[in-house]
């Protein structure tokens, strides 16, 4: 019988972990330290944890269990099924569903003790009709134009009586940009609109919002990205080091090393040509493992050459930063290791794709995306190691 919980699960079992192409190490101690740093930065507000998308790719079950042990009592997910899993890992915690109330789901959510973040008058009406006085959160839009009640709808809901609300919340558009005037505008709007629901706890700040100079912490903060090691304050001036500890390390195995003659090309479409004697290592990961194909590095100018505005990917081989060479394949990736001493890179050695200088934000810049997407794309067939505790 196919176990539905394991369907689609391709990570090696622990007995065969050494046979995987890559090893993903998740530091739960760092995750909890980051949560404590977020809690300290949240002032008097309660600090929750956003664990949607499999805890940003790190594994929802281990993340919720560790954060609960660290003292976290409120979790946010995107979908109801993620909420049910979170509730199983932390039965005494408050679990909110950010994407709101799917049609026909109210009774199942209420029975599980899970709270939707109601994002429209329609959802509010359905929740009250089906779930009675069960508490829920209410999302008020202050500028994202994505989910949440408009100012007029918030007024209507308040006038009609919204029923028992445990939280009223909104979401920043650009909190990682401390100088963006939208931040002040949203804080003002949220302060005004949330006042329509007196006595209800309020929440506005995501990771970057927590670190804004306005300190818009209200009663509850909602960090996600920073918990997983991303820099919550990347654009503060003067620049300062990321206050978060790295959580994720991705290492892949060298399968082969090859000496390449001048003008030889590497990989599909011959998009990378050796501009001299080069040494190339072939790694046992590819785009099927979450290494974006758009991080390929080409130099031949052929129509298939990817010439992105970003730098392209790199790996740390024996501590040396080595650029990718040519198209990333599904399960393989070539790296130019010419700069590494010959005896320092051997077949079977592990090299770092995420970790140390290649932190999540640096990797994202090279791959032409944001760290959130790097994390949530972490491959499913790596050997996963969880280290550290709350």
Ligand X SMILES: *Cc1c(COP(=O)(O)O)cnc(C)c1O
Q: Tell me the binding residues for substrate.
A: 146, 330
Q: Which of 224, 286, 312, 326 binds ligand X (CB under 6 A)?
A: 224
User: How far is the C-alpha of 249 from the C-alpha of 353, rounded, in Å?
Assistant: 8
Does 186 sit near ligand X (CB under 6 A)? Answer: no
Does 207 sit near ligand X (CB under 6 A)? Answer: yes
**What values do phi and psi take at 272, rounded to 5?**
-130, 125
Site string for ligand X, 81-110 (x = CB under 6 A): -----------------x------------
CB nearer to ligand X: pick between 148 and 313: 148
Does 31 sit near ligand X (CB under 6 A)? Answer: no
Q: Which of 96, 197, 225, 324 binds ligand X (CB under 6 A)?
A: 225
The verdict on whether 372 is a catalytic residue reads: no
Q: What is the DSSP letter of 323?
A: E
Does 223 sit near ligand X (CB under 6 A)? Answer: yes
CB nearer to ligand X: pick between 221 and 305: 221
Q: Which of 68, 87, 217, 222 binds ligand X (CB under 6 A)?
A: 222
Alpha helices in the chain (DSSP H): 28-41, 52-56, 60-70, 80-89, 106-112, 121-131, 151-160, 181-194, 207-210, 360-367, 371-376
Pairing between strand 350-354 and 383-387?
unpaired
Yes or no: say if 46 and 221 are a contact pair by the CB < 8 Å rule. Answer: yes
Q: What is the DSSP letter of 310?
A: S
User: How far is the C-alpha of 274 from the C-alpha of 191, rounded, in Å?
Assistant: 59
Closest separation between CB of residue 334 and ligand X, Å? Answer: 33
The verdict on whether 52 is a catalytic residue reads: yes
Side-chain half-sphere of 56: how many Cα atoms within 13 Å? 24
CB nearer to ligand X: pick between 224 and 267: 224
Closest separation between CB of residue 78 and ligand X, Å? Answer: 7
User: How far is the C-alpha of 369 from the C-alpha of 295, rounded, in Å?
Assistant: 9
Residue with the closest Cβ to ligand X?
224
User: Which is catalytic among the residues 6, 52, 327, 372?
Assistant: 52
Does 202 sit near ligand X (CB under 6 A)? Answer: no
Q: 140-152 burial string, b = 16+ CB within 10 Å, else e?
A: bbbbeeebbbeee
Closest separation between CB of residue 90 and ligand X, Å? Answer: 18
**Which of the residues are catalytic?**
52, 268
Binding site for ligand X (CB under 6 A): 50, 52, 98, 171, 206-208, 222-226
């Amino acid at each position: 019988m196919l176990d539905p919980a394991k369907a689609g699960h391709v990570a090696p079992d622990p007995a065969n972990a050494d046979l995987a192409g890559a090893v993903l190490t998740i530091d739960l101690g760092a995750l909890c330290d980051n949560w404590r740093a977020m809690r300290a930065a949240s002032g008097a507000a309660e600090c929750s944890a956003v664990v949607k998308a499999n805890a940003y790719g790190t594994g929802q079950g281990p993340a919720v269990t560790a954060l609960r042990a660290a003292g976290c009592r409120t979790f946010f997910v995107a979908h109801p099924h993620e909420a049910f899993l979170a509730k199983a890992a932390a039965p005494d915690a408050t679990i909110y569903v950010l994407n709101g109330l799917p049609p026909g789901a109210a009774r199942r959510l209420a029975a599980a003790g899970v709270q939707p973040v109601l994002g429209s008058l329609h959802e509010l009406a359905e929740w009250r009709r089906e779930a009675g006085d069960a508490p829920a959160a209410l999302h008020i839009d202050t500028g994202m134009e994505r989910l949440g009640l408009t100012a007029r709808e918030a007024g209507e809901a308040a006038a009609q009586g919204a029923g028992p609300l445990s939280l009223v919340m909104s979401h920043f558009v650009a909190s990682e940009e401390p100088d963006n005037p939208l931040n002040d505008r949203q804080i003002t709007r949220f302060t005004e609109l949330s006042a329509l629901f007196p006595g209800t706890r309020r929440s506005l700040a995501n990771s970057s919002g927590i670190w804004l100079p306005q300190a818009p912490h209200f009663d509850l903060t909602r960090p996600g990205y920073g918990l997983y090691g991303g820099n919550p304050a990347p654009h503060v001036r003067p620049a300062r080091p990321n206050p978060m500890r790295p959580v994720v390390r991705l290492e892949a195995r060298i399968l082969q090393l090859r000496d390449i003659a001048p003008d030889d090309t590497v990989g599909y479409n011959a998009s990378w040509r050796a501009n001299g004697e080069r040494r190339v290592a072939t790694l046992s990961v590819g785009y099927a493992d979450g290494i974006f194909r758009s991080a390929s590095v080409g130099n031949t100018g052929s129509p298939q050459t990817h010439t992105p505005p970003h730098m392209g990917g790199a790996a740390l081989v024996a501590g040396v930063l080595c650029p990718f060479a040519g198209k990333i394949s599904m399960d393989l990736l070539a790296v130019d290791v010419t700069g590494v001493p010959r005896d320092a890179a051997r077949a079977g050695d592990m090299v770092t794709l995420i970790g140390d200088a290649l932190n999540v934000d640096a990797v994202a810049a090279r791959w032409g995306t944001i760290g959130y997407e790097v994390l949530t794309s972490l491959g499913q067939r790596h050997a996963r190691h969880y280290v550290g505790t709350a």
